[in-house]
Amino acid sequence: MLTLYFSRGSCALASMIALEESGLDHQARPLDFSRTEQQSPEYLAINPKGRVPALVTDQGVITETPAILAYVAQLAPEARLAPLDDPFEFAHMQAINSYLCSTVHVNHAHSRRGYRWADDTAAHEAMRAKVTQNMTDCFRLIEANMFRGPWVMGENFSVADPYLFTVSGWLKGDGVDIDQFVHISDHRARMLERPAVQRALATEKMTLSAA
């Protein structure tokens, strides 16, 4: 049994959708960020980073969204959630997931988590002021150079789709009008039709606090 630690509105949604798509036996355990449960001794024993997602497996704990997504895809090959038999295509998918993780997510985090990079509140405000432009630039690049359509990787759905769906869900809060990205908007609409996405969103909704 796999156990995914998540919080509402967080990047853990991507892993939750991937698990739902995979058909693997799993359970989702919410953390309440408003009560800083991610810093509780119990959770830090699971993930010393104090972040979600964390996936508890029989072999140990996996953190970092791209690693969890690749693991889920490999553990459930019959669900066809990644181009497992094509090293170049797999690397291409990983490049997209890494970009979402290390660039897009980090740009987004400057809206509310500026304290990670500076103590000065004026600096937090200066970082926040860059978020709309930085997120717009990232999604321009994704729409024009990464997204193949109808799914991220082209004809085949992959774990890059729940990740893009999760991160594009932050655009409105970051002051970016998603309608300017025709393919990304269309992708969101098609993702919302998938039963696995609906189940993951329902699980999120049942939890109390937002990330």
Ligand X SMILES: N[C@@H](CCC(=O)N[C@@H](CS)C(=O)NCC(=O)O)C(=O)O
List all residues 6 or more positions away from 173 whose beta carbon is below 8 Å from its beta carbon.
111
Beta bridge partners of 4: 28, 55
Segment 8 to 37, residues that bind ligand X, using CB under 6 A: 10-11
**In what helix (H) or strand (E) does residue 61 lie, and over which residues does it extend?**
strand 60-63
Q: Is residue 211 close enough to count as binding ligand X by CB under 6 A?
A: yes
Residue of the chain from 101, 146, 176, 191 that contacts ligand X (CB under 6 A): 101
User: Judged by CB under 6 A, which stretch of 46-54, 85-93, 118-126, 141-149 contacts ligand X?
Assistant: 46-54
User: Residue 50 or 154: which CB sits closer to ligand X?
Assistant: 50
User: Residue 113 or 182: which CB sits closer to ligand X?
Assistant: 113
List all residues 6 or more positions away from 182 whose beta carbon is below 8 Å from its beta carbon.
143
Pair 18, 62: CB distance under 8 Å = no
Q: Which positions from 59 to 78 touch ligand X by CB under 6 A, shown as an x/- string?
A: -----xx-------------
Segment 129 to 158, residues that bind ligand X, using CB under 6 A: none
Pull the structure tokens for residue 24.
Answer: 């693997």
Pull the structure tokens for residue 41.
Answer: 């001794």
Question: To the nearest whole angstrom, how small is the minimum distance from the Cβ of residue 129 to ligand X?
Answer: 20
How far is 14 from 96, CA to CA, in rounded Å? 13
- Which residues of this chain interact with ligand X, rule CB under 6 A? 10-11, 38, 50-53, 64-65, 101, 105, 113, 211
